[in-house]
Structure 1
Amino acid sequence: MDFKKIKLEAKEKINGHLWDVWKPIIVIAVLSSIISLIIETVLGPGTTTTVNENAKTFSEMLSSIKTTYNYPSMISSRLFSLLLVPASVGSVLYMLNFVRGKEYSLDNLKVYYPKIGIIIALNIVMSVLIGLGYIALLIPGIILTFAYSMTFYIFADHPDLSLMDYLRKSREMMKGYKFNYFAFSLSFIGWILLCFLIIPIIWVVPYIETSMTIYYDELKKSQEVE
């Protein structure tokens, strides 16, 4: 995969269109914040940390730190966050349309809600498989993360497949490209570090999102030719 070509195309795509890429990101972030706020208002925060302010030494202060877990709040937050997964998949469709020069709008975010069942199931299965990989050893977890990294791109392109088909197709697509995609992702580390300065994030996030989407498209095209 030609990293320079992909990144150059991404820069050209977002030129004058930063807001277009930011729109779905902001909408999903706002919805997520609203859900979290409602849950915390009703059930309280997921975690509460207390410390003994009368501690005389730093070590005493550290030993006095206690974290209380509000499991109903934590579980509710996780369950309700699943409701946004179809919107996240819709944002993938939005970005695919954007890089392909097709019509895109925030309506893309609600396109897949009729398929919320398989999307949530797919999300859970992927999380379990990747989680088990990390529990076994770090390396298997990383490998599985990249093996299933194209799952929702494939879903956006082919919304009528079975759950196992999406997982299989992503594995097949990433066969021989997992390290390549890892290297591509790692190539943005400098830009990500710049985001700590706040202002660069306005450009960096759309740049990375667009680059990742173009990577999928280029990989798909190369395999269709083969």
Structure 2
Amino acid sequence: GCGIIPVLGAIILVPPLQFGLVIFFIRFFRHGETELENLFKGFDMFGKALAVYWLSQLYIFLWSLLFIVPGIVASYSYSQAMLILYDNPEITASEAIRRSKAMMYGNKMTLFIQDLSFLGWFILSVFPGFYIGFLWSMPYYHITRIAFYDNLLESAGMGYNSSQGI
């Protein structure tokens, strides 16, 4: 009945909204833009955002079936796929995931350690009164992840597509 509608809504809406969050933060980091409509630009590439999100989730789930650690490693392998899709809207979801795996080869531990630096903030945010800090730590976390991605591009001599039209 009606109980399935919110679940289906989340299954369909979360991927483009997450991609919109990526677009918002990457444009803020690279160009200083803070336009709220960027949060909804993930819908401009709805099919690809949906495919990258759910293919990544499927692969992470399958790796997690082996044990927890391979699932965590897989999540870091696919962590750059949405950013790659933003910079290369012409590629397929599978290609974005493949490029993310290649980009993260030898870099997963660095990103894991970077993520650990936010652990204290995330733990504190579950306690009443401290969740307000989450409003500041989450944007900082996302911007730090985008800086990590841009540093990987720079170290590979690639740079990002500054003429991005999304």
Regarding TM over 0.5, the answer is yes
Of 30, 54, 59 in structure 2, the residue corresponding to residue 129 of structure 1 is 59
Structure 1 position 200 matched with structure 2 position 133 = yes
Asked whether the 8 Å contact 1:94–1:108 carries over to 2, the reply is yes
Match of residue 149 from structure 1: 79
Regions of 4+ moved over 4 Å? none
The correspondence of residues 34-53 of structure 1 with structure 2, limited to 5 A, is: 43=2
User: Structure 1 residues 189 and 164, CA, compared in 2 at 3 Å: closer, same or farther?
Assistant: same
Structure 1 residues 139-173: Cα deviation after superposition (integer angstroms, max 9, x where no partner): 22111110000110111111110122101110011
**Structure 1 counterpart of 2:138, one-letter code:** V
Identity of aligned residues (%): 30
Structure with greater Cα Rg: 1
Asked whether the 8 Å contact 1:93–1:157 carries over to 2, the reply is no
**Structure 1 counterpart of 2:7, one-letter code:** R
Match of residue 94 from structure 2: 164
Match of residue 152 from structure 2: 219
Q: Extract unaligned runs of 5+ from structure 1.
A: 1-41, 44-72
After TM superposition, the score normalised by the length of structure 2 is: 0.82
Asked whether the 8 Å contact 2:23–2:42 carries over to 1, the reply is no
Deviates more, 1:198-207 or 1:121-130: 198-207
Distance 2:40 2:70 in 1: 34
Distance 1:108 1:199 in 2: 24
Match of residue 8 from structure 2: 79
Match of residue 18 from structure 2: 88
Structure 1 position 107 matched with structure 2 position 37 = yes
User: Structure 1 residues 172 and 203, CA, compared in 2 at 3 Å: closer, same or farther?
Assistant: same
Distance 1:188 1:210 in 2: 12
Match of residue 35 from structure 1: none
Distance 1:193 1:159 in 2: 35
Asked whether the 8 Å contact 2:17–2:42 carries over to 1, the reply is yes
**Structure 1 counterpart of 2:5, one-letter code:** S
Q: Extract unaligned runs of 5+ from structure 2.
A: 159-166
